[in-house]
C-alpha cells in the first residue's frame, strides 16, 4: 500500500499539485455535491412519488419510460418494455438504466441512489478535468472548471437529477469538449471513453459520436495516427454493440434515426399542427397525440407506422414545420421564461382546440434567472467564437477550441432544432460555452 501511495503521490506532484491538496479539494468538492444531492432528493420526493414508506426507491415510478425497464433489469427479467404483450427492446439506451441498476443492487434506499449517482458522475468530472487541465499549468483554471456545472442553480439541478439522460450529458459533453481542447497526452483516450458513454446515453448524441472522430482524424495533423484514430474505433465499437443487441433482439440493426425505436413516435409530437400552440411554454406532454387504433406486432412496425405519418406531415406541412423550427431557435438563444410547464389545475377535461387560450392563467409563466445567465453565456460565447474564427481565417490558422466549440455545440443543438429543446436539453451546451469563455479569458490575459 505504501508503494502505491508513493507512486500516486509522485504522479500528482509531477503535475504541480500535491497529492494532499488535491485530495482535500476533492473531499471539499464531493462533500458539497453530496449535501446538495441530499437536499435535491428531499425536494424531488416532495414533488413526485419516488419512494415507499421504507424510503426504498420505487423503480417503476422512474419517469421518462425508464421505470419499467430498470425494474425488469433489477428483477432479472431482461432489458425491455412490454406493450400489449409485445417486448420493446430499443426504446431507451442503456447508460441511465444500467447506472441506476448498479446503484440499486447495492441499496434501494432512495437517498443512497440519488447521492451515489451524483458521487460517481461528479467524481469522474473532478479527476478527468484535473488530468485534462494539468498541462495548462494554472491551478486557478482547474478550480473555475470545477465550478461550472454547479454555479447556475437550474443547470446544477439538471446534473443532480437521475430520471432523464440530460443529467449525464450535462457533465460528459463538457468533458468531451475539454478533452479535445486539452494538451494532455491522454486527451484522445479520454475523449474515446466519453464518446462511448455518450452513444449509450441518448440518440441525440449520434451525430457527435459519428462526426467528431472524423474531425479529430483530419484536423489533428501533428498527432500520431494510431492515437487520433482511437476515438473513431471506439465510436464504431459502440455503434456495433448497440446494433448487434438490436439485431439479435429485433432482427434489425438500429442506427442513426432508428437508434431508438421510439424516435418516430417522439418526433410525431413536433410534426403536429398543435405543437406551436404549446411550445415552449407548456409541456409537450400535453400536445394532443395521435393514438393508433391498431395493435402492433413488433416495435419496428410501431416505428414504421409513425415514421410514415411523419413523412406525410412534412410533405403537406413543410412551411409550418420550418416556422416551428424558428420558434425553437428563438427559445434556444433567447428564451428566459420557465418552459415545459404543466397547468396548476390538473383537471384537463374538455381541453380541446386552442389549448393555449384555455390553459392561459392556469400555469406559472415566470422568468427563470438561471436562463437569463445561461443565454448571456451562450450568446456571448457564440459572438466570441465568430470573431475568433474570422481572426483565424486572417491568420490562416485555426485554433482547436474554436473548431471544436462550433462542431460540438452545432451537433448538439441540431437534433433539438429538428425535434425540440427545453432548458434541460441546453444545459450541456451552456456548460461548454462557459468553459469556452473561461479559456478565452485566461488566454486573453496570458494566464495559460
- Contact criterion met (CB below 8 Å) for 421 and 371: no
pLDDT of residue 344: 62
pLDDT of residue 110: 98
pTM: 0.92
Measured between alpha carbons, how far is 298 from 81 in angstroms, rounded to an integer? 12
Contact residues for 184 (Cβ-Cβ < 8 A; gap 6+): 131, 132, 133, 134, 135, 190
Look at 114-128, 276-290, 297-311, 343-357 and tell me which has the smallest mean pLDDT: 343-357
- Contact criterion met (CB below 8 Å) for 126 and 146: yes
Mean pLDDT of 422-437: 98
pLDDT at residue 358 greater than cutoff 50: no
196-210 per-residue burial string, b: 16 or more CB within 10 A, e: under 16? bbbbbbbbbbbbbbb
Measured between alpha carbons, how far is 30 from 427 in angstroms, rounded to an integer? 21
pLDDT at residue 378 greater than cutoff 50: yes
pLDDT at residue 295 greater than cutoff 50: yes
Q: How confident is the model at residue 3 (pLDDT cuts 50, 70, 90)?
A: low
For residues 82 and 6, the model is more confident at: 82
Tell me the per-residue pLDDT of 46-103, one tens digit each, with 9 for 90 and over. 999 999 999 999 999 999 989 999 999 999 999 999 988 899 999 999 999 999 999 9
- Contact criterion met (CB below 8 Å) for 48 and 72: no
Question: In whole numbers, what is the pLDDT of the chain averaged over residues?
Answer: 91
Look at 19-23, 249-253, 350-354, 428-432 and tell me which has the smallest mean pLDDT: 350-354
Q: How confident is the model at residue 375 (pLDDT cuts 50, 70, 90)?
A: very high
Mean pLDDT of 195-206: 98
Tell me the per-residue pLDDT of 129-180, one tens digit each, with 9 for 90 and over. 999 998 776 678 999 999 999 999 999 999 999 999 999 999 999 999 999 9
Measured between alpha carbons, how far is 336 from 162 in angstroms, rounded to an integer? 24
Amino acid at each position: 500500500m505504501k508503494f502505491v501511495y508513493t507512486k500516486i503521490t509522485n504522479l500528482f506532484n509531477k503535475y504541480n499539485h500535491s497529492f494532499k491538496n488535491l485530495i482535500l479539494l476533492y473531499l471539499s468538492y464531493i462533500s458539497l455535491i453530496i449535501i446538495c444531492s441530499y437536499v435535491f432528493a428531499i425536494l424531488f420526493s416532495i414533488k413526485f412519488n419516488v419512494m415507499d414508506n421504507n424510503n426504498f426507491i420505487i423503480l417503476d415510478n422512474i419517469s421518462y419510460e425508464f421505470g419499467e425497464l430498470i425494474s425488469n433489469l433489477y428483477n432479472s427479467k431482461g432489458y425491455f418494455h412490454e406493450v400489449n404483450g409485445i417486448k420493446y427492446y430499443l426504446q431507451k439506451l442503456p447508460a441511465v438504466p444500467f447506472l441506476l441498476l448498479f446503484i440499486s443492487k447495492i441499496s434501494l434506499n432512495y437517498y443512497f441512489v440519488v447521492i451515489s449517482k451524483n458521487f460517481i458522475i461528479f467524481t469522474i468530472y473532478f479527476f478527468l478535468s484535473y488530468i485534462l487541465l494539468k498541462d495548462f499549468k494554472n491551478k486557478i483554471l482547474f478550480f473555475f472548471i470545477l465550478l461550472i456545472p454547479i454555479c447556475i442553480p437550474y443547470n446544477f439541478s439538471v446534473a443532480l437529477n437521475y430520471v432523464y439522460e440530460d443529467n449525464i450529458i450535462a457533465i460528459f459533453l463538457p468533458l468531451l469538449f475539454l478533452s479535445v481542447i486539452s494538451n494532455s497526452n491522454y486527451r484522445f483516450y479520454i475523449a474515446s471513453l466519453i464518446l462511448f458513454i455518450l452513444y449509450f446515453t441518448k440518440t441525440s448524441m449520434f451525430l457527435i459520436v459519428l462526426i467528431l472522430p472524423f474531425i479529430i482524424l483530419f484536423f489533428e495533423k501533428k498527432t500520431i495516427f494510431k492515437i487520433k484514430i482511437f476515438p473513431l474505433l471506439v465510436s464504431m465499437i459502440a455503434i456495433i454493440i448497440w446494433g448487434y443487441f438490436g439485431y439479435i433482439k429485433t432482427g434489425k440493426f438500429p442506427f442513426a434515426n432508428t437508434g431508438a425505436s421510439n424516435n418516430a413516435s417522439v418526433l410525431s409530437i413536433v410534426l403536429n399542427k398543435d405543437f406551436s400552440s404549446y411550445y415552449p411554454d407548456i409541456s409537450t406532454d400535453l400536445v394532443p397525440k395521435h393514438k393508433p387504433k391498431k395493435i402492433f406486432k413488433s416495435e419496428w412496425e410501431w416505428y414504421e407506422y409513425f415514421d410514415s405519418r411523419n413523412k406525410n406531415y412534412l410533405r403537406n406541412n413543410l412551411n409550418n414545420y420550418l416556422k416551428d423550427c424558428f420558434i425553437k431557435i428563438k427559445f434556444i438563444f433567447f428564451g428566459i421564461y420557465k418552459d415545459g410547464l404543466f397547468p396548476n389545475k390538473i383537471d384537463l377535461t374538455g381541453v380541446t382546440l386552442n389549448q393555449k387560450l384555455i390553459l392561459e392563467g392556469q400555469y406559472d409563466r415566470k422568468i427563470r434567472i438561471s436562463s437569463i445567465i445561461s443565454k448571456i453565456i451562450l450568446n456571448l460565447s457564440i459572438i466570441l467564437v465568430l470573431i475568433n474564427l474570422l481572426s483565424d481565417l486572417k491568420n490562416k490558422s485555426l485554433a482547436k477550441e474554436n473548431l471544436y466549440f462550433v462542431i460540438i455545440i452545432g451537433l448538439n443543438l441540431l437534433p433539438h432544432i429538428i425535434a425540440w429543446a427545453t432548458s434541460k436539453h441546453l444545459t450541456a451546451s451552456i456548460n461548454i460555452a462557459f468553459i469556452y469563455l473561461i479559456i478565452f479569458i485566461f488566454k486573453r490575459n496570458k494566464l495559460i
